[in-house]
Amino acid sequence: MDKIEHIGIAVKNLEASNLLYAKLLGKAHYKIEEVLTEGVRTSFFEVGPNKIELLEATTEDSPIAKFINKKGEGVHHIAFAVENIEKEMARLKEEGFILLNEKPKQGADNKLVAFIHPKTAGGVLVELCQENNNKQ
């Protein structure tokens, strides 16, 4: 894995949290994007070479809605940049990690993503993300 690409934070209200994080980081978010298949609306902040991704649920059965019901707002996942997601998924599987998706899926920010089950990663939801070269 390369660098930490972003840290995902679950929020109840994206607009309110955009204001809070703009105050905290001293700069505004640079984009908002909805990922229909995941039931989330996201916004991104640049922090040096890394990003903060805020995630708000758009449906009641969204993973973010479930997370907030259980744990409240806060850090949801850590995403690592990888060069070859399929290869990295195969390597992690062989190491005994449980992947939440068998195949890479389309995530926000033009990325192919896959998640590792927190119960096999020390309680942390880990996301792998690879820059998607076939721009849509």
Which residue lies nearer to Zn ion by CB, 22 or 105?
A: 105
Round to whole Å and give the CA distance between 78 and 12.
19
Cβ 108 to Zn ion shortest distance, Å: 7
Cβ 53 to Zn ion shortest distance, Å: 5
Which residue lies nearer to Zn ion by CB, 36 or 94?
A: 36
Which residue lies nearer to Zn ion by CB, 53 or 56?
A: 53
Which residue lies nearer to Zn ion by CB, 79 or 85?
A: 79
Residues in contact with Zn ion by the rule CB under 5 A: 8, 53, 79, 127
Round to whole Å and give the CA distance between 52 and 79.
10
Residues 6 or more apart from 68 whose CB is under 8 A from it? 10, 12, 57
Which DSSP state fits 90? H
Cβ 100 to Zn ion shortest distance, Å: 13
Q: Which residue sits closest to Zn ion, CB atoms considered?
A: 8
Cβ 123 to Zn ion shortest distance, Å: 17
Which residue lies nearer to Zn ion by CB, 94 or 122?
A: 122
Burial of 105 (0-12, 13-18, 19+ CB in 10 A): middle
Cβ 43 to Zn ion shortest distance, Å: 12
> What is the dihedral angle through the alpha carbons of 4, 60, 22, 113, rounded to the nearest 10 degrees?
20
Q: Which helix (H) or strand (E) holds 78?
A: strand 74-81
